[in-house]
A and B are shown apart, each in its own frame.
Chain A
Amino acid sequence: MSPIIFAFPVFLASIMLEAWLRWRRGLPGYDIPDALTSLHAGALSQVAGVIVRLLGFGVYALVFKEFALVTWPTDNPALWVLALLIYDHFYYWSHRLGHEVGLFWASHVIHHSSEQFNLSTALRQSSTGGIVPTLLSMPLAILGVPPMMFAIIALIDLLYQYWVHTELVGRLGWAEKIFVTPSNHRVHHGQNDYCIDRNYGGVFIIWDRIYGTYEDERPDEKVVYGVRKPVGSLNPLWINLHHFADLAGQMRRTPGWRQKIQVLLAPPGGWHHEDVQPFEPATFSRFDRQTPADVKRYAMAHYVALVLMLAHFLMVQAGLSVEMRLLYAGIILGSAVTVGGLLDGARWAFGLEAARLVAVIAAIIVWPAWFTLATPMVLRVLMVIGLAWSLLWSLAGALRSLRADPARAAIPAE
């Protein structure tokens, strides 16, 4: 079972606490569509991670088995700290490559696509990444860090990075010199000129200081979060894939196969940073889809259902056949995409959501053991009632959408 399941309640509770504290301090509240998009992306990354991370971890385990110098004992705390230090060094480089190599940026850009900066942003993770850090960490396998120790330190490194995604914590004195903190990580998420390609560290910021990529947060210039080329969507599938589509377009337009390969290997701005223009924070306007309040409420309710499904998926997936695993993953993906489409105001979303709900209701009625989950009859009835209400709401929305512009009803938002 994935240990990340146990972190779900902590994530959700801390996000709610942060939202409440922001409200108490009179700061701008959470942008609910943006936060839900981050949470949807996080859910999809966990589903995809079952396959992607497993491949990376499998290769790590094979390298350890075949080529390890020695085997590190796991009962020595000093070795755990050393392993974390070495892993974090490789994390720094994989993260840096995630920003400086076109192909890897396509995978990592999703994490920077939010123009908000809060704990939900931390969960806006890629569904297509995860393998590069493991490949770069192969020296750990050669040095003899056992796979389980590696998996645990990788998880510690990842979980540490959760809390640094907040505006509520100011500068932390001496800790700024050693650790990644909310202050120096805000710089990493900024699109101001001084923030670009800075502060890549995972747990320790010392790597940035050593390799010359460190930058302090400036008190006189508010950090503007996000990327220079905004994705302009709340659809978790599209925000995962949009830069791959951009790269494919660039490759089509670029003559010669060697130059096409350079599109993948060069930094996002090209080898000479051709596209980088000076940034003017004062003229920046944040992406806002003006999602209606009822859609926000609907999306929040269905996110709760999605989290429950995700937790169940992660608990049982190892015992499912490949087909069942893909089907369950597809249901979670479909839920995130259609609800994301609703938040995005996509015209296809109401119809697709209605179709999804019909399919789920039918599955609950005719299939008592939902992927090995034996649900009591009362709960199933309640679920069907909830979903039926959702279906009516979706159908009403689809009708509204058709009346608003029948000619464009079938045209996707993008």
Chain B
Amino acid sequence: MNGAGASDLVLALVCGWLVAARMARQPGLGLAALLIGLAAVLGVLRFGGFDLVTGPHRFASMLSAVAAFPLLAWVLRWPDDPIAVRFAGAARAVLLLGGIGVTATLTGVSGWGPAVSVVSAVMIMVTMVEQRNPVGIIGAVVLIVALAAAAAGKAALFDSTVVLHLGLAAALALLALGSERRLKFKQGSIASPPPRG
């Protein structure tokens, strides 16, 4: 297995942990992790030499970009929304976002996936800053760096695929921990930060 495969394995493990730990409490977050995790598992197979899954891996990656990232951004920004707290709500959002995204990408709007990912990352960053969530802010920064590395592609001095996978894994873990902290604030088990100003 090459570096891309190994880094996809790390991403798959992080996603697996998120699915197991959060699907029941935060189905929106769990479903976003499931989609990214599915792409990562296919990536492990692909980069492990099982070339047959190249097409499905590319499709799952595209679906993650157009549906999982915006779902993640939504869930982190509005954790009480039906899309965040109901599996049915999250699944409907994935269907709509995925349907529009896949259709747009395949019919020639090639920038749709990257644009949606960047907007989602920026929205996550704004949310974490507004929430003054340090763990979340670090997670958002790592996510933006990972997406920028992916955009740099072959022009970069490093293996952009590996950086994307590891960055995503780290970002997802940090954002999940940050959102957990946020939930505990709301439930009152951790003292809220003092008001601003």
Q: Contact residues of A with B, CB < 8 Å?
A: 55, 58-59, 62-63, 66-70, 97, 100-101, 131-132, 135-136, 138, 142, 258, 262, 265-266, 271
Per CB-CB distance, the 8 closest pairs between chain A and chain B, nearest first, are A67-B55, A67-B59, A62-B106, A135-B99, A265-B92, A142-B56, A59-B103, A271-B82
Is B189 among interface residues, defined by CB-CB distance under 8 A?
Answer: no
User: In the assembled complex, which residues on chain A have CB atoms less than 8 Å from the CB atom of B187?
Assistant: none
User: In the assembled complex, which residues on chain A have CB atoms less than 8 Å from the CB atom of B52?
Assistant: 69-70
Flag if A135 contacts B59 (CB, 8 Å): no
Is B181 among interface residues, defined by CB-CB distance under 8 A?
Answer: no
Flag if A136 contacts B86 (CB, 8 Å): no
Is B58 among interface residues, defined by CB-CB distance under 8 A?
Answer: yes
Known: A142-B55, A271-B86. Contact between A59 and B95, CB under 8 A?
no
Interface size of B in residues (CB-CB distance below 8 Å) = 23
Flag if B55 contacts A68 (CB, 8 Å): yes
Nearest CB of chain A from residue B57's CB, rounded to whole Å? 9
Known: A135-B102, A266-B82. Contact between A67 and B56, CB under 8 A?
yes
Flag if B82 contacts A265 (CB, 8 Å): yes
Q: List 30 A-B contacts (CB under 8 A).
A: A55-B103, A59-B107, A62-B106, A63-B59, A63-B102, A63-B106, A66-B59, A67-B55, A67-B59, A68-B55, A69-B53, A69-B55, A70-B52, A97-B95, A100-B88, A101-B92, A132-B95, A132-B99, A135-B98, A135-B99, A135-B102, A135-B103, A136-B95, A142-B55, A142-B59, A262-B81, A262-B82, A265-B96, A266-B82, A266-B89
Give Cα distance in the complex from A69 to B58, angstroms: 11
User: In the assembled complex, which residues on chain B have CB atoms less than 8 Å from the CB atom of A138?
Assistant: 59, 102
Nearest A residue (CB) for B85: A271
Nearest B residue (CB) for A266: B82
User: In the assembled complex, which residues on chain B have CB atoms less than 8 Å from the CB atom of A66?
Assistant: 55, 58-59, 106
Give the one of A100, A138, A142, A265 with max B CB within 10 A: A265
Nearest A residue (CB) for B91: A97
Is B78 among interface residues, defined by CB-CB distance under 8 A?
Answer: yes
Nearest CB of chain A from residue B52's CB, rounded to whole Å? 6
Nearest A residue (CB) for B90: A265
Flag if A258 contacts B55 (CB, 8 Å): no
Q: Which of B95-125 contact A (CB under 8 A)?
A: 95-96, 98-99, 102-103, 106-107
Nearest A residue (CB) for B62: A67
User: In the assembled complex, which residues on chain B have CB atoms less than 8 Å from the CB atom of A101?
Assistant: 92
User: In the assembled complex, which residues on chain A have CB atoms less than 8 Å from the CB atom of B96?
Assistant: 265
Given contacts A63-B59, A262-B82, 15 further A-B contacts (CB under 8 A): A55-B103, A66-B59, A67-B55, A67-B56, A67-B58, A69-B52, A69-B53, A138-B102, A258-B78, A265-B92, A265-B93, A266-B82, A266-B89, A271-B82, A271-B86
Nearest CB of chain A from residue B181's CB, rounded to whole Å? 23
Nearest CB of chain B from residue A144's CB, rounded to whole Å? 9
Give Cα distance in the complex from A233 to B55, angstroms: 48
Is B32 among interface residues, defined by CB-CB distance under 8 A?
Answer: no
Give Cα distance in the complex from A265 to B95, angstroms: 10
Is B172 among interface residues, defined by CB-CB distance under 8 A?
Answer: no
Is B83 among interface residues, defined by CB-CB distance under 8 A?
Answer: yes
User: In the assembled complex, which residues on chain B have CB atoms less than 8 Å from the CB atom of A271?
Assistant: 82, 86, 89
Nearest CB of chain A from residue B93's CB, rounded to whole Å? 7
Give Cα distance in the complex from A136 to B95, angstroms: 8
Give Cα distance in the complex from A59 to B104, angstroms: 9
Nearest CB of chain A from residue B113's CB, rounded to whole Å? 13
Give Cα distance in the complex from A131 to B96, angstroms: 11
Nearest B residue (CB) for A70: B52
Nearest CB of chain B from residue A127's CB, rounded to whole Å? 19
Flag if B102 contacts A69 (CB, 8 Å): no
Nearest CB of chain A from residue B107's CB, rounded to whole Å? 7
User: In the assembled complex, which residues on chain A have CB atoms less than 8 Å from the CB atom of B103?
Assistant: 55, 59, 135
Give Cα distance in the complex from A271 to B86, angstroms: 10
Nearest CB of chain A from residue B142's CB, rounded to whole Å? 27
User: In the assembled complex, which residues on chain A have CB atoms less than 8 Å from the CB atom of B86?
Assistant: 271
Nearest CB of chain A from residue B130's CB, rounded to whole Å? 16
Per-position binary interface string of chain B over residues 49-73, scored 1 when its CB falls under 8 Å from any chain A CB and 0 otherwise: 0001101101100000000000000
